[in-house]
Amino acid sequence: MLYHIYEAQRALIEPFAEIADATAKLFSNPLMPFGQLPASQRVAASYALFHRLGKDYEKPEFGIRQVPVDGVQVAIDERIEIDKPFCELRRFKRFSDDPATLLKLKEQPPVLIVAPLSGHHATLLRDTVRTMLQDHKVYITDWKNARLVPLSEGEFHLDDYINYVQEFIRHLQSKYGNCHVISVCQPTVPVLAAISLMASRGETTPLTMTMMGGPIDARRSPTQVNNLATQRSFAWFENNVIYRVPHNFPGAGRRVYPGFLQHSGFVAMNPDRHATSHWDFFRDLVRGDESSAETHRKFYDEYNAVLDMDADYYLETIKTVFQDFSLMQGTWDVRSPAGKIERVRPQDITGTALLTIEGELDDISGSGQTEAAHDLCTGIERKPGRHYEVPGAGHYGIFSGRRWRQQVYPRVRGFIADHPLPPGAASVPSASVTKLDARAARGSAKSARETQKAA
């Protein structure tokens, strides 16, 4: 019922927000009579702020049109490589008519960036993608808003997330022989599970895995986010944050953790900071500081755009990662697409190098939580420099902004460069990968048939 009330309120406010936007433009235009009135800038700023607070925020675009590669501007074509019910594997294909640049692009390593499914869209990693494109072939998991996924597509579990990641890794391996994987925040746990399961089966694992600011061991330096998960019972989360999607969306009837509730939680963590930011936005408009005002708009266009998460996935993540600590306890079992139950054993990984990165001031994933991956992956030799704590960086600073570009990225780039694809590695899928993909396809088809029967 809460979701329906929220949607009714949003539908009521949205027309007024659009009127406020038009009025703000009217009062801020010096060529219009209203723009000549006393305090017109203050009136325009007030309406503009109301518009920002009342408008609906849609999913932003990545909007990466070109990137520089050794001083040459390279065109970017964004395309969907694999389209799954709950996720798109998105590729940023690079083009150049400069022969030397084109040769360099072909030789650069492929990287799969696994974006978080924890409230915001994958576009939150826009700066990560843009920077990586200078030296790598880049793919990213673009998770779909669960309220847009029809019930006919079935449920989405944490196991499905892991199976998706494995499928995407195999896809890159089939094209390039192998690949590198970067996981940011929430996906560090399912990515480690996915690669562990591949290693246990004897599959080829990625050349490297870079894990950034994730809750591998949420017991270390617990943050406000961790404490909430441990102080509330599983039943509390199921009864208080799970609602059904209203009828005006394609996913009507699906059980989800709504985006608007997640956004409320984000804001509640730092209410003073957000209030100050909006007040500064108002003052910037009054002063005519359009540059600062535009910076505010860009940040909150991204920050306020949130997606719904499927209830099963969200609840299982809470229990597995933040309550039972199943990965650290060695008790995590995952169901494959074929229906087989497999134990997650990070110690089985031997052919993949590991780099962990944390922010000194991270208030989402506390100090030591990501570094714990090294304790689990005992089959990987830990060399000096394989863990980096970014001085002065918060959670977002390790993958976006100046610290990411100047401090973190050079380390990530060097780490990947130190583990190149072996000479002569085949760019065709191995027999084992082909067999596993076929088995997974049969399992997915069977699951789809069962879902249709149930519906």
Separation CA 217–CA 322 (nearest Å): 8
Please state whether the predicted TM-score (pTM) of the whole model is above 0.85.
yes
Separation CA 17–CA 225 (nearest Å): 32
Element of type H or E holding 311: helix 311-317
Separation CA 275–CA 171 (nearest Å): 45
DSSP 3-state helix, strand, coil percentages of the chain (rounded to 5)? Answer: 50, 15, 35
For residue 156 the two structure tokens come to 């989405």
What's the pLDDT at 428? 45
What's the pLDDT at 424? 64
What's the pLDDT at 348? 98
Element of type H or E holding 199: helix 188-201
Q: What is the spatial order of strands in the sheet that 309-310 belongs to?
A: 243-244, 255-257, 309-310
What are the domain boundaries of the chain? 2-56+259-303, 66-238+309-454
What's the pLDDT at 118? 87
Amino acid at 368: G
CA distances 227 to 104, 276, 417, Å, are: 47, 26, 38
Contacts of 179 (CB under 8 A, 6+ apart): 109, 110, 111, 112, 169, 172, 173, 206, 207
Q: Which residues of the chain have pLDDT under 70?
A: 424-455
What's the pLDDT at 306? 92
What's the pLDDT at 240? 93
Contacts 24+ apart (CB under 8 A), 240-245: 242/311, 242/314, 242/315, 243/1, 243/2, 243/3, 244/3, 245/3, 245/146, 245/147, 245/308
Separation CA 216–CA 219 (nearest Å): 9
What's the pLDDT at 146? 97
CATH number for the region 66-238+309-454 comes to 3.40.50.1820
